[in-house]
Structure 1
Amino acid sequence: MLREGATLTLARHLPARFDIGAEAAFPPMGRLRLAQQVRQDMWRALRDVRGFSPAVRVTAQDGALLLRAGGRVAGPAPKAVLEARIAALLADPEKRARWARFAGAGA
């Protein structure tokens, strides 16, 4: 984990590398807890991708959070397909609600 001002990066390998990724905005909540939950669900969704190492970067900006989820992929991978899977994960309303509850949104 790396904290730099308003940005928190959660990754197994630092510096984090985003060979693939997608972004989403979130209301204010706990950055670390949000990053942990997104990273866990992203790993579950992409565990079949050989050489994938997930990374999540959360930046507090203008009263909201900007989250970038993705990571490094060792070897060839269908970038557009993987980015679409990550974007779908970030847009899933049930997961977003669970992440917000876990991270204390509105608290």
Structure 2
Amino acid sequence: MSRRRWHILREGDRVTVARRLPVRWDLAAETTLPDACRVRVAQQVRQDMWRALQDLRGFAPVVQVTRVDGGLHIVAGGEVAGAVARQKLEADISQVLNCPKRRVRWIRHAQPKKVLA
């Protein structure tokens, strides 16, 4: 899927990456991370959540990253067409958000690039 099909909304300290507009939250999970580039973190979380839930028909992912108190507050989830087991899906998203290996990769990817003189 091309990047042009994803919406990136910037509102102050908040960045939202969404598949569809307007954003709808049928299910969601939350976590916090150290401060980093909000757009890069949102894209990485979106990719991993999309991979974990790719078999869920009618799923339109949304990731919202807000800079708070020197860190990032992340809400991930989105819109689902039809009836679903909400608690199970939210637990699946929470697993993605709290996977130590993914978290390290997200932060590493989102750190500013160092310029060598």
Q: What band does the TM-score fall into relative to the shorter chain?
A: over 0.9
In the other structure, the counterpart of 2:88 is: 81
Larger radius of gyration: 2
Match of 2:28 in 1: 21
Cα deviation, 1:9-47, whole Å, max 9, x if unaligned, reads: 000212211101100001000000000000000000001
For residue 65 of structure 2, what is the amino acid of its counterpart?
Answer: V
The corresponding residue for 2:53 is 46
2:74, 2:111 → 1: CA distance?
Answer: 16
Name the amino acid aligned to 1:29. A
Aligned length: 106
SS at match of 2:78: strand
Q: Does 1:97 align with 2:101?
A: no
- Percent of pairs with identical residues: 53
2:80 is the alignment partner of 1:70: no
Distance 2:31 2:59 in 1: 20
Measure how far apart 1:71 and its partner are: 0.5
Q: Distance in 2 between matches of 1:8 and 1:53?
A: 17
TM-score relative to the length of structure 1 = 0.95
1:2 aligns with one of 9, 29, 34: 9
> Could you tell me the TM-score, scaled by structure 2's length?
0.87
CA distance in 2, matches of 1:46, 1:34: 18
User: For 2:103 and 2:75, how far apart are their aligned partners in 1?
Assistant: 14
Q: Which runs of 5+ in 2 are unaligned?
A: 1-7
CA-based RMSD: 1.1
Counterpart of 1:60 in structure 2 is 67
Larger RCO (CA under 8 A, 6+ residues apart): 1
List runs of 5+ in structure 1 lacking aligned partners: none
TM-fit CA distance, 1:93: 0.2
